[in-house]
Amino acid sequence: MSTARTLPPSTIADMAALHRAPEPEVLGPLLERARLSEDERAAVVGTALELLADLREGQRSGWVNQFLQEYRLNSSEGVALLSLAEAFLRVPDPETADALIADKLGDADWRSHAGKSDSGLVNSATWGLVIGRALVGEGGGALKRLMARAGEPFVRQAVGAAMRLMGEIFVMGRTIDEALGRMAKPDNKGFTASFDMLGEAARTFPDAERYFESYAAAIAAAGKARGAGGPEDNHSISVKLSALHPRYEVSQWERCVPLLTGQLEALAGAAAAADIRLTVDAEESERLEMSLAIIEGVANLPALKGWDGLGMAIQSYGKRARPTIAWADDLARRTGRRLQVRLVKGAYWDSEIKRTQEGGLSDYPLFTRKAATDVSYLACARDMLGAPGIRPAFATHNALTVATIMHWAEGPEGFEFQRLHGMGEGLFERLVRERGYNCRTYAPVGGHRDLLAYLVRRLLENGANSSFVHQLADEELTDEELLADPVAKIAAVGGTRHPSIPLPKDLFGESRRNSKGIDLEDRAILARVAEGIRHSRESGNPASSFSARPQEKLDSRFRGNDGKLDVGAAITAAQAAFPAWAATSIEHRAACLDRLADLYEARTGELMAIAVHEARKTIPDALGEVREAVDFCRYYAAEARAKLRSLDLPGPTGETNVLRMEGRGVWACIAPWNFPLAIFTGQVVAALVTGNTVIAKPAPQTPRIAAAAVELAHEAGIPVDALILAPGGPD
């Protein structure tokens, strides 16, 4: 079946429209693009069943897959092993290593797994864990304690060896030369590799320089080992832009984009000279626009004209994946080249979800259902096969996805499959050696200390319940369930979000609403916020209605002859206001706090401007200040409703007994300068909602934002004498 079509040029504005759009809105066109007819579906499933048989054979021959199946991540033992794998190789001394092992091995029930696996190696490893727990466990007599001390070095060495072995399963070699040598062995015959020099984002410029040199050396080595044929027939190199600059973030766009463009230009020039491919890896969603700007800058360089070795990765779990493919095709046509695009499912799902929730943003930048990602992948794959400017590379271990792509492509020419080293060997062995398909192995390279974060991602990917690799090893799942149509799955739920993943605003359920954030990783939004704050400084008016000096806001009743606060008069007024305020209902006081939270959110920009100018906060910190204050208001309102209501107690002799929480009187709330709105608000609203009146003393350095907070509190319904601002110095 033909997949050709004209892809419209996509702009950054097109992507922005989809970035945080509701999932049904994004998935509608994707469902249509990924849908198969009944006849096509039958043909694809037939091919997928053949691939499943190959995959299962590969799974049976791999003890690591069986080990991961035995110790799934939904078991305490699986979590313990994952935690141990993540931390062990970073521990600097034997004593701490022993303590870590004892902590992770000591509480798990390893014996329950003994003899359960079909693999003798896995069962042997389980008995090793049982013995290890006994050796490092606490308690017992003198002999057991002696054995524990004697056994600790043995257990430590065994765990270290196991972690290194796990590393070898997922990492091609400690050096690029070792990795090239391993790829030259017979078991990798027919496969090419994309080498990734392990390492997470650079933290310092020396880190970035070291990673750059590592990439440059890898390009030189891969070029030296180059065989016959074009770049598609030889090994390639993958680079992470975050490894080349310690401030690869939107707020530093003007600093890092030109520098990174220069760094990538140098690496691309070396790759072009060696006639090998260089692919820019995909990273977190907020870096997408920056990466596109850098890739476009390099693609437009006259020195690289005619070189078809430049490539990029696109993550199908992102809502902007499809327009990004259209953008890549348009760039390739504009620059007279064919751009390799590696399509992957996505590597940062957990952290993207968590950061969006913490940021209080409007929606997620990616799909919340695994089946939705699969639909997106298929739609993107179909687009790529029909894009003349793209040479597709499909990175997947899913038999149904592979079978669908084979059906659409109508032959092995013009594209390649990719797999992770240590995963999916059985899926591609016959396709490469008997049917002529091209497959490239994504091959991480690095020492044991560098592999930790990568190893954990691979273990998570293998062990996740929704992972195809994990489901394949589950004997309870039928072939029909494994090969279920993702289009039908998503259509059946109307493309809606996963029910267990609420929108960020609903993170706390019915108890309270999450504070609203601002997407400062969106360059256009950040520019508007920064311009508003800059304008407020230039106009000398940090916040229109909050511009008066706090001292001038003092009620004349509380101003002494010297113009300063008369503390005694303020206390007297607060004491007089206490009975009436304490007599109000809990619901009334909680509602005042909710209204204050809403007012804070409505005036976020003005409050941020004051925080920046008065407290010298950065823009992200100023936003965090306002959001924390909002959260304090809603949290204490929810707590008051839940915990302060009167409680009827038993009356065994007929009397009425009621437990009631009451305010104590006037509270002095003194705030620090470093959290002039958040901590100021938190202690004030906690005292107010419990029925107390408050005299609020801000730090002498930050009175203006406190005055704004008190003004809004009064607007929210808190009586003037129930909350009195007391600005002034340390006296």
595 and 564 inside one domain: yes
676 and 560 inside one domain: yes
Q: Which two tokens stand for residue 290?
A: 């920056």
308 and 357 inside one domain: yes
Of 609, 217, 277, 572, the C-alpha closest to 438 is: 277
In a domain, 513, yes or no: no
In a domain, 505, yes or no: no
159 and 227 inside one domain: no
pLDDT of residue 104: 64
pLDDT of residue 107: 61
Q: What is the CATH number of the domain that holds 637?
A: 3.40.605.10
CA distances (Å), origin 317, targets 27, 344, 370: 11, 8, 8
pLDDT of residue 188: 85
DSSP 390: E
Q: Please, what is the end-to-end C-alpha distance for the chain in angstroms?
A: 83
Q: Which of 137, 165, 193 is the last residue in one of the domains?
A: 165
Of 186, 258, 260, 173, the C-alpha closest to 218 is: 173
In angstroms, the CA 111 to CA 115 distance is: 9
In a domain, 185, yes or no: yes
In a domain, 517, yes or no: no
332 and 471 inside one domain: yes
> Helix crossing, 586-602 with 604-615: angle to 10°?
70
In a domain, 350, yes or no: yes
Please, what is the average pLDDT of the chain? 85
pLDDT of residue 80: 66
Overall pTM > 0.95: no
When pLDDT is cut at 50, 70 and 90, the band that residue 646 belongs to is confident
Model confidence over 100-125: pLDDT tens digits?
Answer: 777 766 666 656 666 655 655 555 55
The domain of 92 spans: 71-165
In a domain, 176, yes or no: yes
Q: What is the CATH number of the domain that holds 288?
A: 3.20.20.220
Of 50, 11, 623, 39, the C-alpha closest to 361 is: 623
**pLDDT exceeds 80 at position 662:** yes
Of 724, 717, 719, 721, the C-alpha closest to 698 is: 724
For the chain, count helices (H), then strands (E): 28, 13
The answer to whether 403 and 47 have CB atoms below 8 angstroms apart is yes
The least confident of 18-22, 65-69, 128-132 is: 128-132
The answer to whether 397 and 461 have CB atoms below 8 angstroms apart is no
Domain count, the chain: 3
Burial (0-12, 13-18, 19+ Cβ within 10 Å), 662: exposed
pLDDT of residue 421: 84
Share of the chain above pLDDT 70, in %: 78
The residue type found at 33 is R
The residue type found at 640 is A
In angstroms, the CA 387 to CA 325 distance is: 9
Residue whose tokens read 């040029």: 9
273 and 372 inside one domain: yes
In angstroms, the CA 583 to CA 719 distance is: 13
653 and 678 inside one domain: yes
pLDDT of residue 150: 44
Q: Which of 149, 165, 181 is the last residue in one of the domains?
A: 165
49 and 148 inside one domain: no
316 and 396 inside one domain: yes
Q: How many CA atoms lie within 13 A of 441 on its CB side?
A: 28
In a domain, 130, yes or no: yes
The answer to whether 170 and 182 have CB atoms below 8 angstroms apart is no
3-state DSSP call for residue 696? strand
Model confidence over 242-293: pLDDT tens digits?
Answer: 999 999 999 999 999 999 999 999 999 999 999 999 999 999 999 999 999 9
When pLDDT is cut at 50, 70 and 90, the band that residue 449 belongs to is low
Q: Which of 125, 146, 165 is the last residue in one of the domains?
A: 165
550 and 692 inside one domain: yes
Q: How many CA atoms lie within 13 A of 195 on its CB side?
A: 32
248 and 156 inside one domain: no
Mean pLDDT across 208-221: 95
In a domain, 249, yes or no: yes
The answer to whether 290 and 259 have CB atoms below 8 angstroms apart is no
CA distances (Å), origin 699, targets 228, 486, 685, 722: 72, 58, 17, 20
438 and 560 inside one domain: no
